[in-house]
């Protein structure tokens, strides 16, 4: 019997039209989007399905991504597919909390709306930057960036792809040093802030205050936290980890390796794009990776699981 993980992508995977077929063709999907509109006071279908400038602005992106991914997950679960564990990359961790029964969908959507605003406001536009460092070992990147001020490792995505974050000048200097150290490429990313860096510590603290009013339950299944790549099995751990997550490294590669070591052999990526599937090819090709991005994908996944 397969051990299944539901995994959820983070900010950057958003695209116009995400979840539209779930909204138009399923009652479950429609109810998730309409509920998000009620909670947040603006039209979530309009934000997700119609061309606009807001979808790529952090304070809107985060709520849109979580809404779309939860809608897709609920339709999949209604078809009888249930996870044994869950995890999400950065923002996607909130979808994993819903999958694990730790947080309600309402609270996840409302919380990430606040999280997005806090992260957007944390650093004036232009002061921070992020860059993807390709084809250089994590240890070499840690050696170069460790002694530097104002630059941090933001994401351990997969072998050969690590993201750094921090003050713009420091990130640019680090890129030059890392290329000199052997990185194949160092690409500045088109993002609105230095996410998962020490520059967002205060935003994390403010998120902690938001979380004080959010109910969390004991996990019905374990989920893997970004901060330490370990299973969370107790409600008491949740809020502190989410507060730290805003300014800490996302240990995605280590999270996946922890799930595989625990016997997970099937990963279902739920949300727009195939970012996590791409990382999986570099982390471990021996596991099965499936995707839910369209309503048609639900049938494909159900059939693939039945055939295992």
Active site residues: 90, 196
Short-list 197, 261, 170, CA closest to 178: 170
Q: Rounded to the nearest 5°, which phi and psi values hold at 109?
A: -65, -45
| Count of helix runs (H) and strand runs (E) in the chain | 13, 10
HSE at residue 256, side-chain half, CA atoms within 13 A, is 30
Q: What angle do CA 253, 295, 300 make, to 5 degrees?
A: 70
CA distance 234 to 238: 7
Find the angle CA(234)-CA(222)-CA(281) to the nearest 5 degrees: 140
Q: Structure tokens of 156?
A: 């351990």
**Tokens 């330490």 belong to which residue?**
228
Radius of gyration in angstroms for the set of CA atoms belonging to the chain, rounded to a whole number: 18
Q: Which residues on adjacent β-strands are paired with residue 130? A: 165
Between the alpha carbon of residue 24 and those of residues 33, 34, 91, 177, 223, the distances in Å are 10, 11, 25, 50, 30
Q: Judging by DSSP bridges, how do beta strands 151-158 and 161-167 pair with one another?
A: antiparallel
Kind plus residue range of the DSSP H or E element containing 299? helix 295-307
Q: What are phi and psi of 40, to 5 degrees?
A: -100, -15
């Amino acid at each position: 019997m397969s051990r299944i993980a539901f995994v959820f992508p983070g900010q950057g995977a958003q695209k116009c039209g995400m979840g539209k077929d779930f909204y138009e063709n399923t009652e479950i999907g429609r109810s998730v989007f309409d509920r998000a509109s009620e909670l947040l006071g603006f039209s979530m279908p309009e934000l997700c399905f119609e061309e606009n400038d807001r979808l790529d602005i952090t304070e809107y992106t985060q709520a849109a991504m979580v809404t779309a991914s939860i809608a897709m997950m609920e339709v999949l679960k209604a078809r009888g597919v249930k996870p044994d564990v869950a995890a999400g990359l950065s923002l996607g961790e909130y979808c994993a909390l819903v999958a694990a029964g730790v947080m309600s969908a309402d609270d996840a959507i409302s919380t990430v709306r606040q999280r997005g605003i806090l992260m957007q406001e944390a650093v004036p536009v232009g002061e921070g930057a992020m860059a993807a460092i390709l084809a250089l070992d994590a240890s070499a990147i840690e050696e170069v960036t460790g002694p530097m001020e104002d630059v941090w490792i933001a994401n351990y995505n997969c072998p050969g792809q690590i993201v750094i974050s921090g003050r713009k000048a420091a990130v640019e200097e680090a890129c030059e040093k890392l290329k000199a150290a052997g990185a194949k490429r160092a690409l500045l990313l088109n993002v609105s802030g230095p996410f998962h860096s020490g520059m967002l510590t205060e935003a994390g603290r403010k998120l902690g205050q938001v979380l004080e009013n959010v109910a969390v339950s004991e996990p019905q299944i374990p989920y893997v936290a970004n901060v330490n790549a370990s299973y969370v099995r107790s409600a008491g751990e949740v809020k502190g980890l989410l507060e730290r997550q805003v300014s800490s490294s996302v240990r995605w590669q280590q999270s996946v390796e922890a799930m595989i070591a625990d016997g997970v052999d099937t990963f279902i990526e739920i949300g727009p794009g195939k970012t996590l599937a791409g990382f999986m090819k570099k982390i471990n090709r021996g596991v099965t990776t499936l995707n839910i991005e369209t309503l048609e994908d639900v049938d494909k996944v159900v059939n693939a699981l039945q055939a295992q």
